[in-house]
Structure 1
Amino acid sequence: MVKAVIRAVRTSRLIALYAPLFAIAAGWALFRLAGFEGPLVLGWLPGAAGIAIGGGYLLVAANAPGLTPAGRRFWRHLAISALLIAPSTGPFTEASLGGRKSGPLLYAAVGLLAVALLLVLWALLRLPSRVRGRSGWLRLGLDAATVLVCSATFLWHFLLRPMAGAPLAKVLGLAVLSVLCLLAVLAVVKLLLAGTAAVDSRALWALAVVVLIGSFGSAVVPLLSDPRLAGLSDLVTMGEALMVAIAGILQARRAGRASTTPVERRRPYSVLPYLAVAAVNLLLVAVYVSGAATLPVLVGAVTATGVVVARQLLAFHDNDDLVRSLRETQRLLHEQATHDALTGLPNRALFNERLEHAAAAVLIDLDDFKAVNDTLGHPVGDGLLVEVGRRLRAAVRDSDLVARLGGDEFAVLTTDRPPDDAVAERILAALSAPVHTHGHVLTATASVGVAARAEGESAQDLLRHADIAMYAAKRRGKGTHARYTPNLSGLLLTPQSRAADLRRAIAAARPPDTLEVGRAALVAPGFAAELTGLLAEAGRTPDGVTLALPAAQLADDAVLQRVMRELRAAGFGLALDQTGTGTVRLDLLSALPFTAVIVDPQLREEAGPQLPDKAAFAEAAARFARAAGIEYRVRSEGSLLESAL
């Protein structure tokens, strides 16, 4: 604010305009201080001219481009008020100092001042503020009331109290003007505390300084009863005039941005009410020390302090509401971060967190869910997933964690005792009941894999074992379950046996090498690094090796995607092995980074003229592979090195 004022004074004609007026006012003050009398008009003219010039700057601000209609109206009203105040300030000041007792000139001055103050008040009250809500207006009202009580206390002590015994007309005039001044102070304080987008905040603070200088001038009136000090009031008037002009300059310079880029407040609170209370308490101490009547000032100090206490209690209440709202927001954010938006179940993030302390894991993968989405639409598929989640929660204990890992894959974690086969059977039974959603009746089946955590096993081992069991269930058929055991249908290989098989396969293979790898070996921790190392021992590189992956064991899931990306990054080729299926999984070819597809000869044998649909599918699969840059192979006896890994 101070820097902005200094810059405004330096870069405008203010110095050229106001320096002579200040010189005249200062000369007049020294002239009176020396005890000389002279025409009073010499003391009036600098202040009147300064206020009139300030009114001109306010008109410039009102006509600046880019100003909002509310801001333009505000500055025009202030400019008119300044032009009304200019001719009336001299007679009124003289009367306040005891120089003019009554007369038409004084009454005219009081009338002009009253009209000007009413116009200022009207302009201030019509400005829109940023305060919203009943609570915001209550806080603003208490802050404004604090400043108002303190201002009234100062006006009473310095302006009205010394008028005791003065003519009634003069006292009433001062009382009316004091009330108008208090209302103007209230309006200014409201804008300073609430803020407005229509007027630049620095210009508002300049106007607040005008009010402050005026209050100071009223406060020193009793000290200027000596005619030799009367000239000081003209210097006070010049200070007010200068700040009026600075307010107009500050607004004119920011008019183009004031409506769209309001200056943000540096603090979310205002110290103005607390400064006002501190000032009135200092006044109370000064009055007590001087021995003057303290009751009115004491009443003002106590009242202002009481209002501040009420405001503080309201702030405590608002802070409490804010803390509760913040905690609720944090809870909702945590809920959104750890739970699935569709089913409301815990998601993979919370599942992974609880997996570290789980005693057992159950993986549930819905059978043929993709066909539901493709044929009936995603809303039907979403309805099915929601119902599956509800049934899973009902099929297990309240202490068990039911999570949706993504897509059609769900999981259950237990932390105390491993689940038995009855748990998997209850899950399958719960899912087998018909599901009614979006006008369709569906039957959900799933493959369920169960694994218990053995001593010394990590969380990832538990998840891998449950995954192996789930794919074992898939091989048994839809709607079945399997429990993990170390010899589960040969799906699990120990690291030693896997390494031995790999060495034999690498040694027996001849370029181009194709090794068959099952899912269990593929998802084993460190498989890509292990295979790369064994190839390096044999003097081979991954560039000439293609891994054939059986389609029956594959699905588009995060684990498989991660492993296949690692293998492709290492240089391995990846082939989707459709041997024995008589079809091609185009969904897997498009979703996973395969470099080749191996089809069974029966696909071509069956795709003869007698089966035109089968022939069309075989041709479409071949065209798809060529378009995607995927090698299309037909398996022939002895062309592939079979190694059941």
Structure 2
Amino acid sequence: MAEDVPGHVERNAAQEHQAGGRVPERGQPTVRQAGRHRRDPFLPITASAVGHPSEGCRLMIGGGGPIAEAGEPSVLSRGKALAMTDRFARPPRAGVVVAAVVVAAFLLATSRLPPTSSAITSDVVQLLVAGAAAATTATRARRCPPGRVRTAWLLLALSCASWCAGQGYWSWLSARGEAPFPSLADAGFLGFAVLAVAGLVVHPAGGGRTGSWQRVLDSVMTCGAVSLLSWETVLGAVVAVDNGYDDIARTLLLAYPVADVVMVVLAVLLLAHTRGDRTALNLVGLGVLAQAIADSTFAYLTATSNYDGGSVDVGWVVAFLLIALAGTCPVDSPRPADRRPGAGPPSVPVSVVPYIPVVAAFGVALGATFSGHPLTSGELLVVTVVVGTLLARQYATVRENTRLAADLAAREVELEHLAFHDPLTGLANRALFRDRLEHALELHTRDPRGVALVFLDLDDFKAVNDTFGHGVGDELLTRVSERITGALRGGDTIARLGGDEFAVLLEDGGDGLTSATRIADALRAPFVLAGRTLQVGASIGVCALEPTDPSVGADALLARSDAAMYQAKHNGKARVVSYDVEAPASPAAPVG
């Protein structure tokens, strides 16, 4: 609210013109008071709300970026932090290079050496890479904060150690020229599967993008697809081959691919339902896949009595090298944005992870069918279950997307309302008011039509805030807006411009003086707030354009009504003053 300064004479636009001055332009002060400049109420400010109201909104000023909320890092610091996180989330380059060199050297050595030396080399390399994987994953577990993540990595470290122990025993047997099956080494190898499964189950899939229904569908679909894929490629052949093994040996041969199916299914589900930095989990998932391929190859070759070690063991080497690289990935604390439920959509590659085994299984099944091996009734049942869960998952996804689209549309409507309405009173804000004013002036120029602008400022509102507090002041502004709304037509645009300043745009023949008088009459009755009775008046300026009047711009019309309001305030407050282009403004009778 503006205050009067004793001895200071305020002039309207006509008087200013007669004195050789000019109407203040947009962005310039309208009146100078005792060395203070009153800001033009229509100084251009571009504002838009960013974010949902429940999450807090940030203000966009001018054309710049969002102002950081309290306690939030700046845009520059956030960008730098994200860049550092992205850069250091991956394993060290030296580790990747070493892993690639080990694989290349392994393939070269096992392909060039004699069979016996090749088998020994394979055993030693497997022992070393499994030990390296156990060491790096144990180190990562120690770096993780206490909780399920640390437990999961510890279980993975123990699984690698179990394999390392089994491989050590097998290497000792191989060095002695023995290769029994089964042996105690199989306990270590299968211990890897048991502990790895436990680790994958314990690891949290926090921040997953889907509900429990989609997790169930993904579980059934992935399990069916991976099982079908394993059966068509390895498991069925192992069961069908009569190799003379006893029941224990045959059970162990089947245990390897079955355990791999479980590990692959859990890895797929974990990757599909975990957000944030998945670099380490991606490497673990690839390691589990390589392990499954190596185990299946071993089971098939052993069942057909064709396994002799050497280069065929490269799958195990690759598997443990990938797991070892996963253990070298840095452990970063999750950012606040990652901890919020539903924050950030998953990447496209992660979204398609559950479909990869389905496509692979269907491809293998079709290949078998076209090659003259039709599917059995049991295989057809599995295919039916996979197709059914796939269709159910897609239907549920479509429904979820429809719901999200409806929520997004409702949020956009809410944000649009926030962007163009005053949050305290619910009236139009300065952006919406100016847009409608410019449109009304365009119609006045084209049709022509009458336009009237009423500008009002509460008298002595600052005293109310200083005496009774801002809470009472806000309540008074809300009650004033209600009375103004009740005094005018439903189609009139009423806006709170800021502070205790209000404006009304009258179109379609609305009379400015009549409307201003109704507003003054509505404000005459005292307000009862917080048990106190307050008498509040308003200084009101009116500027009207008749249909035959020459066109003016929005800034000029605003300046005229603003000058008329100040003339009313100078003449004693609580009155209406109409701007007259031809003569100095003449005050109307006091209104209270």
Count how many residue pairs are aligned between Structure 1 and Structure 2: 466
Alignment of 1:302-321 (within 5 A): 302-321=384-403
2:205 maps to amino acid = S
Which whole-Å CA distance do the structure 2 matches of 1:44 and 1:187 have between them?
33
Who is 1:203 aligned against?
280
Distance 1:126 1:219, change over 3 A: closer
The alpha-carbon distance between structure 1 residues 190 and 47, as it changes in their structure 2 partners (threshold 3 A), is farther
Moved more, 324-333 or 83-92: 83-92
Q: Which residues of 2 match residues 167-566 of structure 1 at below 5 A?
A: 168-195=247-274, 201-217=278-294, 220=297, 224=301, 229-231=306-308, 234-252=310-328, 254-255=329-330, 257=332, 267=348, 269-295=350-376, 296-358=378-440, 359-419=451-511, 421-454=513-546, 455=548, 456-458=550-552, 459-488=554-583, 490-491=584-585
Change in 2 beyond 3 A, CA 1:218/1:117? closer
Q: Is the 8 A contact 1:468 1:491 kept in 2?
A: no
State the shift of 1:108 in Å. 4.2
Partner of 1:26: 111
Distance 1:170 1:75 in 2: 31
C-alpha separation in 1, matches of 2:280 and 2:248 = 36
Contact 1:139 1:311 in 2 (8 A): yes
Partner SS for 1:316: helix
2:330 is paired with a residue of what secondary structure? helix
Q: Are 1:74 and 2:155 counterparts?
A: no
For residues 323-369 of structure 1, the C-alpha deviation after alignment (integer angstroms, 9 at most, x for no partner) is 22222322222222221122121111111111123322212221222
- Residue type at the aligned position of 1:390: E
1:392 Cα offset (Å): 0.6
- Rg larger in 1 or in 2? 1
User: Does the CA-based 8 Å contact 2:264-2:288 persist in structure 1?
Assistant: yes
Q: CA deviation at 1:440?
A: 1.8
Aligned-residue identity in percent: 29
Quickly say closer, same or farther: Cα 1:164–1:410, change in 2 above 3 A: same
Deviation at 1:203, TM superposition (A): 3.4
* 1:247-301 superposed Cα distances (whole Å, 9 cap, x missing partner): 223422x335477799x97547422222222212211221112211313444444
Partner of 1:535: none
| Partner Cα distance (2:273, 2:291) in 1 | 23
Q: What is the deviation of 1:153?
A: 0.5
Give secondary structure in 2 for the equivalent of 1:160.
Answer: helix
Q: Call closer, same or farther: CA 1:225–1:297 in 2, change over 3 Å.
A: same
Whether the 8 Å CA contact 1:395–1:430 is kept in 2: the answer is: yes
TM-score, with length taken from structure 1: 0.63
Residues 290 and 461 of structure 1: CA distance in aligned 2, closer, same or farther (over 3 Å): same
Q: Which sections of structure 1, spanning at least 5 residues, go unmatched?
A: 32-37, 93-99, 493-645
Partners of 2:390 and 2:585 in 1: CA distance: 76
Partner of 2:232: 157
Unpaired runs of at least 5, structure 2: 1-85, 171-177, 339-343, 441-450, 587-592
Distance 1:372 1:203, change over 3 A: closer
Deviation at 1:484, TM superposition (A): 3.6
User: Which letter maps to 2:397?
Assistant: A
Deviation at 1:179, TM superposition (A): 4.0
Of structures 1 and 2, the one with the larger relative CO (CA 8 A, separation 6+) is 2
Give the corresponding residue for 1:569: none
The alpha carbon displacement at 1:244 in A equals 1.0
Residues 253 and 299 in structure 2, CA contact (< 8 A), matched pair in contact too? no
Indicate the residue corresponding to 1:605 in structure 2.
Answer: none
Q: CA deviation at 1:419?
A: 1.8
Which residue is equivalent to 2:41? none
Q: CA separation in 2, counterparts of 1:229 and 1:176?
A: 19
Q: Distance in 2 between matches of 1:461 and 1:157?
A: 82
Q: Which residue of 1 aligns with 2:139?
A: 63
Name the amino acid aligned to 1:387. Answer: R
Partner secondary structure for residue 248 of structure 1: helix
Please provide the CA RMSD for this pair. 3.9
**Alpha-carbon shift at residue 204 of structure 1 (Å):** 2.6
8 Å contact from structure 1 (residues 47, 241) kept in 2:
no
Counterpart contact for 1:159–1:218, Cα < 8 Å: no
Structure-2 residue corresponding to 1:124: 200
The 8 Å contact of residues 222 and 357 in structure 2, kept in 1 or not, is answered as yes
Partner of residue 33, structure 2: none
Task: State the distance in 2 between where 1:112 and 1:51 align.
Answer: 12
Distance 1:89 1:288, change over 3 A: farther
Segments of 4+ in structure 1 off by > 6 A? 3-6, 17-20, 89-92, 225-228, 258-262
Please name the residue that 1:580 is paired with.
none
Q: Following superposition of structure 1 onto structure 2, how do residues 612-623 of structure 1 map, counting pairs within 5 Å?
A: none
- Give yes or no for contact 2:541–2:563 (8 Å, CA) kept in 1: yes
CA distance in 1, matches of 2:425, 2:335: 43
C-alpha distance in 2 between matches for 1:344 and 1:141? 46
- Give SS of 1:272's match: coil
How much has 1:387 moved relative to structure 2? 0.6
The alpha-carbon deviation at position 404 of structure 1 amounts to 0.8
Cα distance between partner residues in 2 of 1:409 and 1:5:
61
Q: Once the 2 structures are TM-superposed, how far is the Cα of residue 322 of structure 1 from its aligned partner?
A: 2.4
For the Cα contact (< 8 Å) 1:58–1:76, is it kept in 2?
no
Question: Where does residue 504 of structure 1 map in the other structure?
Answer: none
Cα drift, residue 428 of structure 1: 1.3
Q: How far 1:388 moved relative to its partner?
A: 0.3
1:561 counterpart residue number = none
